[in-house]
């Protein structure tokens, strides 16, 4: 490299606020992605960074709980010595690490943010729209910039009767493409957990429950009738799984399934009947595609008189705590 190149790159980085990505360790470099100075510095110095999706902010919770929860989650991650990195699209620019003003803008339903999965990036960016990234969309960008741990509430999966409708979340395919650990409370309860676990096996995703048993959590419920193949009981053990995955260059992900704390868990039989009612309403109103999940979650919140929202907030906070601890252990292993 010529003598002036490093100086030129430093000048670019110093003089750009939210700048185009120039992270040296990333697989791709794109002038469509803006990485915040805080996140970029942490990545460059190989410090612990935790990716966060933004559909919780734009579609998963009502206002103002969506904004308040996002701020709390970021603070939980910072308290563990890690850097939070919300990923979203703002005015057609992909953002990795959001300012407070950007969080507030995306949380406001009046701005009509779009739900962004892998397929949606070309349209949303070309039309300079606001968008909240799904698990799938967040994985795409996290992989681009080199973030290895990603915290969410629950992943998408195979919808009920998916064997007939082929309604399968793009989250599952994306999980099979990247060596990233996704920390979640399993699969959203409105889905077919058994078929989702089968699909994850097909995609080569290592599914591991966090805690003292292999039982796989069901989002609102801390237990289900399904088991994960394995379990780990400490953040250090979870971090070792990710390190091995990366050393083997497996290019497939890991799902760390963390049960919601027992005091917030909802009885599974009550939740099943509530979800059935919500799904019937969705069918009656002909809700389809990516609108189904937010519609059903809203109905479930109404039917449980806010209990499901309380549980949702509790589990994302707990996942952020566990995910940050894993990220810190992974940082130590990577040094």
Rounded CA-CA distance 4/82 in Å is 33
pLDDT at 147 over 60: yes
Is residue 87 helix, strand or coil?
Answer: strand
Supply the mean pLDDT for the chain.
90
Average pLDDT over residues 9-15: 46
- What SS3 class is residue 36? coil
Cα separation, 326 vs 335, whole angstroms: 15
On whether the pTM is more than 0.85, the answer is yes
Q: What is the DSSP letter of 120?
A: G
For residue 13, pLDDT over 70 is answered with: no
Cα–Cα distance measured from residue 108 to residue 80, given in angstroms and rounded to the nearest whole number: 29
CA pair distance 7, 325, nearest whole angstrom: 36
Whether 114 and 124 have beta carbons less than 8 Å apart is answered as: yes
Indicate the range of 86-95, 242-251, 262-271, 291-300 predicted with least confidence. Answer: 291-300
CA proximity to 40, closest of 66, 61, 12? 12
What's the whole-number mean pLDDT along residues 236-248? 97
| Higher pLDDT pick, 290 / 131 | 131
**Beta-carbon neighbour count of residue 180 at 10 Å?**
24
pLDDT tens per residue, range 96-143: 999 999 999 999 999 999 999 999 999 999 999 999 999 999 999 999
Which pLDDT band holds residue 29 (cuts at 50, 70, 90)? Answer: low
From the list 330, 157, 164, the residue with the least C-alpha distance to 257 is 157
Place of tokens 């559909």: 55
pLDDT at 261: 97
Q: What mean pLDDT is predicted for residues 283-300? A: 82
**pLDDT at residue 27 is higher than 60:** no
Q: Is the pLDDT of residue 4 over 60?
A: no
Q: Is pLDDT of 169 > 60?
A: yes
Catalytic residue positions, numbered: 53, 188
Neighbouring C-beta atoms of residue 141, cutoff 10 Å? 28
């Amino acid at each position: 490299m010529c003598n002036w190149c490093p100086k030129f790159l430093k000048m670019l980085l110093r003089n750009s606020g939210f700048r185009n990505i120039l992270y040296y360790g990333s697989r791709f470099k794109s002038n469509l992605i803006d990485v915040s100075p805080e996140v970029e510095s942490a990545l460059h110095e190989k410090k612990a960074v935790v990716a966060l999706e933004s559909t919780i902010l734009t579609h998963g919770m009502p206002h103002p709980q969506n904004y308040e929860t996002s701020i709390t989650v970021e603070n939980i991650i910072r308290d563990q010595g890690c850097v939070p990195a919300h990923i979203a699209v703002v005015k057609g620019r992909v953002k990795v690490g959001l300012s407070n003003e950007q969080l507030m803008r995306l949380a406001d339903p009046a701005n009509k943010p779009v739900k962004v999965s892998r397929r949606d990036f070309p349209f949303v960016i070309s039309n300079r729209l606001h968008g909240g990234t799904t698990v799938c969309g967040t994985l795409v960008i996290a992989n681009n910039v080199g973030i290895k741990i990603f915290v969410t509430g629950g992943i998408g999966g195979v919808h009920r009767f998916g064997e007939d409708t082929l309604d399968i979340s793009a989250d599952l395919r994306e999980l099979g493409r990247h060596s990233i650990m996704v920390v979640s409370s399993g699969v959203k309860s409105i889905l077919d957990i058994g078929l989702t676990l089968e699909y994850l096996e097909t995609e080569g995703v290592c599914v591991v429950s966090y805690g003292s048993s292999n039982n796989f959590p069901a989002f609102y419920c801390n237990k289900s009738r399904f088991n994960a193949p394995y379990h780990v009981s400490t953040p250090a053990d979870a971090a070792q799984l990710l390190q091995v995955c990366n050393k083997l260059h497996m290019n497939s992900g890991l799902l760390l399934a963390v049960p919601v704390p027992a005091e917030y868990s909802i009885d599974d039989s009550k939740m099943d009947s509530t979800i059935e009612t919500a799904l019937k309403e969705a069918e009656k109103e002909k809700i389809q595609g990516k609108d189904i999940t937010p519609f059903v979650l809203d109905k479930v919140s109404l039917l449980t008189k806010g209990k499901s929202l309380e549980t949702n907030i509790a589990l994302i906070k707990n996942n952020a705590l566990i995910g940050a601890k894993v990220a810190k252990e992974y940082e130590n292993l990577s040094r």
